[in-house]
Each structure stands twice: as C-alpha cells, then as structure tokens.
Amino acid sequence: MTRMFQKGFPDTVASRAILILVAALLAFHLVGYWAYRVGVESLASAQRDRGLAERIVSIKRAIAGIPQEPERDRAAHDLTSASLEVHWSKVSLVLGTAPTTERTAAMEAKLKELVPDLATESFRLGFADDGALGSGEADAYRHMMLVSVRLDDGSWVNFSSTTLGAAQHADWSVLAVTICFGVAIIVVAVLLLRWATRPLRELAVAAERFSLDQIPKPLDETGPAEVRRAARAFNTMRERIQRLVSERMQAFLARSTHAHHPATPALRTDGG
C-alpha cells in the first residue's frame, strides 16, 4: 500500500509544490463558498425578521383602528399570510406566566432592535416548545414562535410564525469565518511545506555535521527525485573524500617510515 501510494504521489519538488498550492486553493474556494452561504443566509434572515416585525406593527395598528369586534377578527384573517398567521381575541395567545428563556429574551431584544416602533408596544413573545402555551394548544402551534400584542381596549392581536427567528446568524459571521479559514489555510500550507522540504533540511544537517573523524553514516535517500539525487551525490562525495584522505594518510605514513629507516644495511655490505 505504501509503495502504491509513493508511485502515485508526485515525485518532484515542483509537482509537490503544485499539489500543495492546488490543495490550498481548493480548500480556500470551498471554505469561501461556505462563508458566502453563511453570510447570505445571515442577511436574508435579518431582512426576513425585520419585514415580519414591521408587519406585526402595521397589522396591530390596522386592527386597532377598527371599532367593531367582528370586523377585527375578519380583518385579522384577511391579513394572514403563509409566513404569518394573525388572529384577534380577548385573551393573549402567549401565557402571562410563560417562562422567559434565553431564546425568548434574545429574540425579543432582536425584534426591538430591528423595529424600534415595536419597543413602544405592549407585547408578549414566546415559543410553543418553551411552554408559552397551555397544554391544550401546544400541539397546534408546535415549533412556532408566538407574539401577542395588546390593544388599548385590553384585547390582543396574536401572531404565529414558523419562519420568524428560524436562522439567527450573527452579522459578523462572514468576517469571523474568513479569519478562521485564512488561518487554517496558512497552518496547513506551513505544515505541508515543512513536510515536503524535510529531506532538504536533513541534507543540510548532514552536511553541517560532516567530519573526517567520525565513521560515515549514509544519508537516507528519500523524498522527491531531486532530493534523492542530492543525497546520493552527497553520500558519494563523502565516500570519495574519506577514501582520498585515507589513501593520503597511508602514503604519508609510508613516506615517514622510509625517512626514519634509510637503506644503511646495503651501504655496510658494500663497505665490507
């Protein structure tokens, strides 16, 4: 398996660098597309929530201007849409004793921020899943957000929506995600480049530690083709240097021995 992987893997520094760049660019585009989607969904969610909140205020004012109760209920039904269901009644759809959860508080603050006119209204907000309804009505409004706006005569305009607050991405999500994937690409690129150039660093360390006094240890001939060729040349050069120095040392020792022991026996034989 390892050999098959090595055969199919790029074998040169240039090809490996290209592979790294392509992988980094591909990751950049994929994460960039995801960040774009997150940003678009965040903006779309904010616009949708703003539009629905403005509709709540306008519908409440329109119904409040109708004096007859039957006409109020009929107008509420006429103003109902696919994204916002409207009803008028004497009681609030949201229980006054409903618990204020973190999700409810966050959505209430968001609606007041999106539509400041809503902050001046007396309204209740809750989610059916959080216990904002009585047990008998919870099943009919499951997974829905509920808003009850009080009129001056004490009656209520009740709204229910499955889309309001469905997506709540922060507006700074695009910037945050951009920073995250930028840092991730830098980290991945650094790690991959360090891995690809590790044989070159090992060759440099071996050259720095080269010594004639030590037993030569062959450098591993691994990595891309260029690095293997350089390692092979380094090993050959080191062997030649070691052999050349050894031959010179032997010749020097032989010459020194000859100089300290001249051919005196031959002279004595001739003189005798």
User: What is the pLDDT, as a whole number, of residue 75?
Assistant: 92
Positions of the chain with pLDDT lower than 70, given as ranges = 1-9, 12-14, 97-98, 129-143, 163-175, 177-178, 181-182, 212-216, 258-272
- Give φ, ψ of 156 to 5 degrees: -130, 145
Look at residues 166, 168, 181, 185 and name the one whose alpha carbon lies nearest to residue 34. 181
State the Cα–Cα distance between residues 60 and 87, nearest whole angstrom.
10
Look at residues 130, 110, 129, 106 and name the one whose alpha carbon lies nearest to residue 118. 110
User: What is the pLDDT, as a whole number, of residue 168?
Assistant: 47
Global pTM reads 0.47
